[in-house]
Chains A and B, each alone.
Chain A
Amino acid sequence: MSRRRLGQLEAEVLAVLAGAGGFLSPQEICDRLDGEPAYTTINTILFRLLDKQMVERTKHGRAYTYRLTADESGLAAERMFGHLRLAHDPSAVLSQFVHGLSPHEEAALRALLEDPGGET
């Protein structure tokens, strides 16, 4: 596996924490990532995330354990995303999770979500 960019690794750490739900030690996070990134790298990323208030930590014995910030309002979201058009319709270089829906698609999706067969 090639060396990952820090931004990608940061997202992977977040995904691991989101999947786990509770507190994880940096070593546990390392173990759950592919390609066994260095412990110090993970610590650096956790510090950055702590700085952005996206994770919170608690002392567990002598080491810290981390989890996703439980209270969403506590997330450091003071940076505004002012680019109206960019959020709606980013061009090819930025991948967006979903694009807008047509009214027809919206109806189809609502039907899918309300379908009792598809309930989890």
Chain B
Amino acid sequence: MSLEIYLPVALLSMTTMLLAWRQPRMHPAWHARVLAVLIGATALAVLGVLVFIIMIALGPLERTNATVLGRVLIGHEKVPSPVAAVVCAILLMIGVAVARTVAKWRRELRTTRALGTGVVADVRPFALAVPGRDGGVILSSGLVGMLSRRELEVVLRHEIAHMKHRHHLYLVIGTIATRIFPPLIYPHRALCYAVERWADEEAAVAVGDRTLTARTIARVALAQSPAAPGPSPALTGSHVSRRVLALMGQSPPDNRISGPVLLSGAWMATGSAISPALSHQASLLLVLL
């Protein structure tokens, strides 16, 4: 096995981790986009490597020496079968984990869509954005009761931003990527934060008051916390105080030029990192067929 097939994964993971850790001073919208591309690409590269190892293990390499494409494969020694078995097991586990996550999402969407949009009776203050054609915003009566009209507008604008920019897709990409490659949980958390910040910034622009937006988030979070003794806070690693602090500071640069440049850079970088791995596989497939 030559080490070069691991190179794209290593490079992509490092770039992704770096971007998640360093939190560049840019608009959260662009940070979220770049992170989603990098996280998705890293997961794809990992999957690619796993599939590749199995293909080498299965491939009848000796017969293909003569072809041009076969030469690509000569560099790779035969994979010992225990390794191939382990990789198979890993792939299977990934498949099961992804399937279970998707099934859970479908259940949740079905229950919330059946409920319909609008206000539901519940003392806990919460707001949910349900994506999709039958989606909308669900507000709890506890939330509506504790907020002023202007504060309610902040919450609505925040949820509208989630729906408008289809933030659930970013989070779906991130979550599936962590099922494929668990270390991606760190950049995934940065992605969750960036998406929330994105919606916060849109809400602040829409209501025209950053302080009001910050205070609304803080109030809702504080009202929620005693009623939520569950195990979730530590697990979700909520970023509420960081979000509030960020809103109390200056508004972020809108990155009208540097944002798109960085995003297309990320696309090209991931494309060039993944394509050798994928073309390896494509050639292998051709040889096998």
Binding site for B on A (CB under 8 A): 4-8, 10-12, 14-15, 18-19, 21, 49, 52, 54, 68, 72, 75-81, 83, 85-102, 105-106, 108-110, 112-113, 118, 120
Known A11-B160, A98-B217: A19·B241 in contact at CB below 8 Å = no
Query: Is the pair A7, B137 in contact by a Cβ cutoff of 8 Å?
Result: yes
Query: Is the pair A52, B135 in contact by a Cβ cutoff of 8 Å?
Result: no
Give the complex CA separation of A15 and B3 in angstroms. Answer: 55
- 13 A-B residue pairs with Cβ-Cβ distance under 8 Å, sorted by A, are A10-B117, A11-B159, A18-B156, A77-B141, A81-B121, A94-B128, A95-B162, A97-B127, A98-B217, A100-B238, A101-B240, A113-B218, A118-B215
Chain A residues within an 8 Å CB radius of B140: 81, 87
Query: Is the pair B120, A80 in contact by a Cβ cutoff of 8 Å?
Result: yes
B94 is an interface residue with CB less than 8 A from chain A: no
Mostly helix, strand, loop or mixed at chain B's interface? helix
Binding site for A on B (CB under 8 A): 101, 104-105, 108-109, 111-112, 115-122, 124, 126-138, 140-141, 143-145, 149-150, 152-153, 155-160, 162-164, 167-168, 171-172, 174-175, 195, 199, 206-207, 209, 211-212, 214-215, 217-222, 224-225, 228, 230, 232-236, 238, 240-241, 244-245, 248
Checking B121, B144, B221 against A78 with a beta-carbon cut-off of 8 angstroms, the contacting residue is B121
Chain B residues within an 8 Å CB radius of A99: 232-233, 236, 238, 240
Query: Is the pair B160, A8 in contact by a Cβ cutoff of 8 Å?
Result: yes
Query: Is the pair A100, B136 in contact by a Cβ cutoff of 8 Å?
Result: no
Known A7-B136, A75-B144, A80-B121: A89·B230 in contact at CB below 8 Å = yes
The smallest beta-carbon distance between B214 and chain A, in angstroms, is: 8
Checking A21, A81, A88 against B232 with a beta-carbon cut-off of 8 angstroms, the contacting residue is A88
Known A19-B150, A98-B220: A8·B164 in contact at CB below 8 Å = yes
Checking A15, A72, A76, A109 against B218 with a beta-carbon cut-off of 8 angstroms, the contacting residue is A109
Query: Is the pair A19, B153 in contact by a Cβ cutoff of 8 Å?
Result: yes
The smallest beta-carbon distance between B132 and chain A, in angstroms, is: 8
